[in-house]
Amino acid sequence: MTFFEARNVNLHFGSFHVLRDVSFEFGKGDVLVVCGPSGSGKSTLIRSINRLASPLTSGSMSIQGCDLMSLPRQDLYRRIGMVFQRFNLFQHLTVLENVALPQRRVLGRNRREAADRARALLDRVGLADKADTYPVRLSGGQQQRVAICRTLAMEPELLLFDEPTSALDPEMVGEVLQVMRGLASGGMTMIVVTHEMGFARELGTEILFMEQGQVVERASPVDFFASPREARTRAFLDQIL
């Protein structure tokens, strides 16, 4: 059953045609991996899902049959969570407050409830002992794990990741991928923009390869890596593997 659907999505920045007739769909619990060269429109695509990019020029996107473009912003943010490349934690708040505050603001949870839930999430990603620390004292990998907790605290139906490990030092990539692995195996529905092809191969339900704003290839991880149909996909894989 279709959970998410993008149909003939086009998006322009001024006269620049960034997304060109992008269509795809996936089911609940799927992990859609999006890859492609820099500038191919990956960030724009996932940002357009929760309306952080310009409005679509044409086409539509829906989640469980519900049109995303007409969904009130508050509902959209609640139902679809986003994890950014650069964490974007609130620097003046402790780790616990970073995870608790949005729950109070967006979900109307009381202080106690929000803090309890934040602690449980931090525990799950191995950061229970950092609750009262400020982000500046954490490594990049730890900050990204906090950012994931903050997003999870909203109990989203869909999680979007935009290159969640590419701002990290290599030794910290593993700890963030480990958290994402746990989410995927726990049945979380996710769209992950990443160059981590190990992750894509292991956890991707489907891989979408983009170039110049177009979906060049959509395939299962097995087919994508073993026998890509398109010459452009092969050239990309030759470069990064």
Helical spans, DSSP H, in 8-86: 42-49, 73-79
Q: Rank residues 20 and 229 by Cβ distance to Mg ion and give the closer one.
A: 20
Helical spans, DSSP H, in 7-132: 42-49, 73-79, 95-107, 111-124
- Minimum distance, C-beta of residue 130 to ligand ADP, in the bound complex (Å): 30
* Binding-site partner at residue 221 among ligand ADP, Mg ion, none, CB < 5 to 8 Å by type: none
Point out which residues bind Mg ion (CB under 5 A). 43
* Binding-site partner at residue 144 among ligand ADP, Mg ion, none, CB < 5 to 8 Å by type: none
Q: Rank residues 10 and 133 by Cβ distance to ligand ADP and give the closer one.
A: 10
Cα R_g (the chain), whole angstroms: 18
Quote the CA–CA distance of 204 and 208 in Å, as a whole number: 10
**Helix, strand, or coil (residue 218):** strand
* Binding-site partner at residue 39 among ligand ADP, Mg ion, none, CB < 5 to 8 Å by type: ligand ADP
The closest residue (CB) to Mg ion is: 43
Do residues 140 and 169 lie in contact, with contact meaning Cβ atoms separated by under 8 Å?
A: yes
Extract the tokens encoding 45: 């695509």
- Minimum distance, C-beta of residue 132 to ligand ADP, in the bound complex (Å): 35
Quote the CA–CA distance of 198 and 241 in Å, as a whole number: 10
- Minimum distance, C-beta of residue 204 to ligand ADP, in the bound complex (Å): 17
Q: Rank residues 16 and 241 by Cβ distance to ligand ADP and give the closer one.
A: 16
Quote the CA–CA distance of 221 and 107 in Å, as a whole number: 37
* Binding-site partner at residue 143 among Mg ion, ligand ADP, none, CB < 5 to 8 Å by type: none
List the 158-162 sheet strands across, edge first: 80-83, 158-162, 190-193, 31-35, 206-211, 214-219
Bridge partners, residue 207, by sequence: 33, 219
Q: Rank residues 43 and 62 by Cβ distance to Mg ion and give the closer one.
A: 43
Point out which residues bind ligand ADP (CB under 6 A). 13, 16, 18, 36, 38-44
Pairing between β-strand 206-211 and β-strand 190-193 as defined by DSSP bridges: unpaired
- Minimum distance, C-beta of residue 233 to ligand ADP, in the bound complex (Å): 15
Q: Rank residues 11 and 115 by Cβ distance to ligand ADP and give the closer one.
A: 11
Quote the CA–CA distance of 143 and 95 in Å, as a whole number: 9
* Binding-site partner at residue 40 among Mg ion, ligand ADP, none, CB < 5 to 8 Å by type: ligand ADP
Q: Rank residues 40 and 94 by Cβ distance to ligand ADP and give the closer one.
A: 40
- Minimum distance, C-beta of residue 28 to ligand ADP, in the bound complex (Å): 25
- Minimum distance, C-beta of residue 45 to ligand ADP, in the bound complex (Å): 7
